[in-house]
Amino acid sequence: KAGVTQTPRYLIKTRGQQVTLSCSPISGHRSVSWYQQTPGQGLQFLFEYFSETQRNKGNFPGRFSGRQFSNSRSEMNVSTLELGDSALYLCASSLALGTPYGYTFGSGTRLTVV
Amino acid sequence: KNQVEQSPQSLIILEGKNCTLQCNYTVSPFSNLRWYKQDTGRGPVSLTIMTFSENTKSNGRYTATLDADTKQSSLHITASQLSDSASYICVVSADLTSYQKVTFGTGTKLQVIP
């Protein structure tokens, strides 16, 4: 079965712009979570969605937002981009909220802000 | 505060040699611990998962151990191969009331050289 699909794979944006990233979970998975990964900070949790509702949120500014659709696909939006937002953004899906069933990660979207 | 610390930060070993990566955590209440392998520019892939009652779990040449008393885990790689070059991330879940909270380590970057 298809894995977690993230689009686009690579993105270059200018400071001040906004960006929307997309994540399609594994079929049947209802939970989608988002992470930012930078060389210095490692993986940092952004937020998790389940049944179209944000259930858990990390410590990121309000410029980072997300949503989940009825088919479990999720989007993440970053407004007023800053140079420090350059990172690999990973999405992971699981059968249900939390990790008892395990996360499956996508390959990520590499965002570069110039 | 829930924390996961991994050591060493980076490691270089010769092909064919064994190595052990360490993970210490202060996550509470403990639910499970996972080791992930992340190739450069890709999403993490789960290697092993262990719950409180399990103290060892193998996946091919990868063997994870867990000491829930000392809150330590290790990942042992046997007869390393060039393809083992990657970052290895320890992820610990806390079992909260309605969901599981996940804490990620910053990873150990392993380089296997010929």
Strands (E), A1-114: 5-7, 10-13, 19-24, 31-38, 42-50, 53-57, 64-68, 74-78, 87-94, 104-105, 109-113
pLDDT in tens, A33-78: 999 998 877 888 898 899 999 988 888 999 999 999 999 999 999 9
Q: In 3-state terms, what secondary structure has residue B102?
A: strand
pLDDT of amino acid B71: 95
User: Residue A3 has what DSSP assignment?
Assistant: -
B12: Cβ contacts below 8 Å, ≥ 6 apart: B110, B111, B112, B113
pLDDT of amino acid A27: 93
Residue contact B43–A41, C-beta within 8 A: no
Tell me which residues of chain B have a pLDDT lower than 50: none
- The minimal CB distance from B100 to the residues A42, A100, A105 is found for A100
Q: Lowest mean pLDDT: which of A18-22, A85-89, A95-99, B26-30?
A: A95-99
Q: How far apart are CA B56 and CA A11, in angstroms?
A: 41
Residue B37 forms contact with A (CB below 8 Å): no
pLDDT beyond 60 at A28 = yes
HSE of B69, CA atoms in CB hemisphere, 13 A: 1
Looking at the DSSP bridge assignments, the partners of residue B86 are: B110
The pair of three-digit structure tokens given for residue A80, joined into one six-digit string: 């007023």
Residue contact A42–B89, C-beta within 8 A: yes
How many A×B Cβ pairs under 8 Å?
58
